[in-house]
């Protein structure tokens, strides 16, 4: 959905790692993700570094999970990891984001925007139905809330950071109704409906907090005053 929204405007790199915790991401994945991204300049025939529009960070459910075979990360260590992830991302990508005020999608202050998504609620009832042998803690939903709170705290104390509280968005404060809402497939992972709800909230946050990062819609999507313009000639321009 996000790739479709930014079609011809930006490439969306989705990196999901099954079972990974924030510590795994920080130490084993992030260094590779922060390697320079480059594209070929068609006019000069040379590689040039691609600017980063924003990061979306959606981790925490694996850190909070207590079922057998999982490597739980304490809530304090999780908060430290997320803080360090911000520091690590900013150390590299602040150097490659747009700061030119003449660019319609400039960050202005030189800090690449980071949008956090909290861990979702935990539908204990649904999880127990599907995986009766996993001994899901009865207070799993409340545990997930403590991790969601940490994500919101990290976002609050770092500049140019936003947060989408999907624990609340998807109904974590009313656990008895979680299954009926249909936002999750197994008690944790999102269904198509859940992903749609998160995507719509993500676009709302971009529009609210980083309006210069939204897909440009005015001026035929290319000649507007604000947002990320489409690349390449528009089809009708080839007849000129």
**Residue 237 placed within a domain:** no
Domain that holds residue 190: 2-7+17-229
**Residue 238 placed within a domain:** no
Q: Which pLDDT tens digit goes with each residue over 135-147?
A: 888 999 999 999 9
**Residue 68 placed within a domain:** yes
Angle (deg, nearest 10), helices 75-93 and 140-157: 40
**Residue 155 placed within a domain:** yes
**Where is pLDDT greater, at 97 or 164?**
164
Tokens representing residue 82 in the block: 């997320």
Output the pLDDT for position 40.
45
**Residue 41 placed within a domain:** yes
**Residue 236 placed within a domain:** no
Distance between CA atoms of 195 and 6, rounded to whole angstroms?
A: 17
Looking at the structure of the chain, the number of domains it has is 1
Parallel, antiparallel or unpaired: strands 38-41 and 46-49: antiparallel
DSSP state for residue 215 in the 8-state scheme? B
pLDDT confidence band for 189 (50 / 70 / 90): very high
Distance between CA atoms of 7 and 158, rounded to whole angstroms?
A: 30
Output the pLDDT for position 16.
84
Q: Which pLDDT tens digit goes with each residue over 77-136?
A: 999 999 999 999 888 755 545 545 555 555 555 688 999 999 999 999 999 999 988 888
Distance between CA atoms of 116 and 104, rounded to whole angstroms?
A: 24
**Residue 140 placed within a domain:** yes
Read off the pTM. 0.86
CATH classification at residue 133: 3.40.50.1110
**Residue 12 placed within a domain:** no
Output the pLDDT for position 220.
74
Alpha helices, H only, 131-226? 140-157, 166-169, 178-181, 192-209
């Amino acid at each position: 959905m996000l790739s479709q929204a930014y079609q011809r405007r930006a490439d969306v790199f989705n990196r999901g790692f099954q079972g990974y915790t924030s510590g795994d991401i920080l130490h084993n994945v992030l260094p590779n993700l922060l390697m320079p991204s480059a594209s070929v300049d068609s006019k000069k025939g040379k590689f040039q570094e691609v600017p980063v529009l924003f990061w979306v960070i959606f981790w925490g459910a694996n850190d909070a999970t207590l079922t057998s075979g999982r490597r739980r990360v304490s809530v304090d260590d999780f908060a430290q990891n997320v803080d360090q992830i911000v520091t690590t991302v900013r150390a590299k990508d602040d150097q490659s984001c747009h700061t030119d005020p003449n660019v319609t999608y400039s960050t202005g202050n030189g800090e690449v925007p980071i949008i956090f998504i909290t861990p979702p609620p935990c539908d204990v009832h649904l999880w127990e139905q599907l995986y009766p042998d996993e001994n899901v803690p009865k207070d799993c939903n409340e545990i997930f809330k403590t991790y969601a709170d940490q994500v919101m705290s990290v976002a609050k104390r770092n500049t140019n950071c936003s947060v989408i509280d999907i624990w609340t968005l998807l109904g974590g404060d009313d656990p008895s109704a979680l299954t009926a809402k249909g936002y999750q497939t197994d008690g944790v992972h999102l269904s198509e409906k859940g992903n749609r709800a998160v995507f719509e909230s993500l676009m709302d946050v971009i529009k609210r907090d980083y309006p210069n990062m939204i897909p440009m819609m005015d001026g035929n999507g290319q000649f507007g005053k604000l947002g990320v313009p489409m690349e390449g000639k528009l089809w009708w321009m080839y007849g000129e």
